[in-house]
Amino acid sequence: MSEPKIAALKPEVLTLEPGTYYWCACGASATQPFCNGAHKGTGIVPVKFDITETTKVAMCNCKHTGTKPFCDGTHKSLNL
């Protein structure tokens, strides 16, 4: 797999507690927007990120954002 699978065409808005998270970059995880290990064999790896204080975030689900793991609006311009 060279291109990620689009999990959804809108971000997942979540309030995250402090901790370390792994964002699914391949789009195959059943626990979107987080990694569940489904990327194995795809050549795409999850993105590790840390949250230091309780924060509301918009997580990218189209997997094409330029600000991984956060949504930058790219889903609005994808040609499907």
Q: pLDDT tens digits for 41-69?
A: 999 999 999 999 999 999 999 999 999 99
In a domain, 78, yes or no: no
The rounded distance, in Å, linking the Cα atoms of 71 and 64 is: 9
- The verdict on pTM exceeding 0.85 is yes
In a domain, 77, yes or no: no
In a domain, 44, yes or no: yes
The rounded distance, in Å, linking the Cα atoms of 45 and 22 is: 9
Q: Give the residue numbers spanning the domain of 15.
A: 1-57
Phi, psi at 77, each rounded to 5°: -115, 10
The rounded distance, in Å, linking the Cα atoms of 40 and 10 is: 25
- Judged against a pLDDT cut of 60, whether residue 1 lies above it is answered with no
In a domain, 53, yes or no: yes
Biggest CA pair distance of the chain: 36
Question: What's the domain count of the chain?
Answer: 1
- In DSSP terms, 57 is beta-bridged to 14
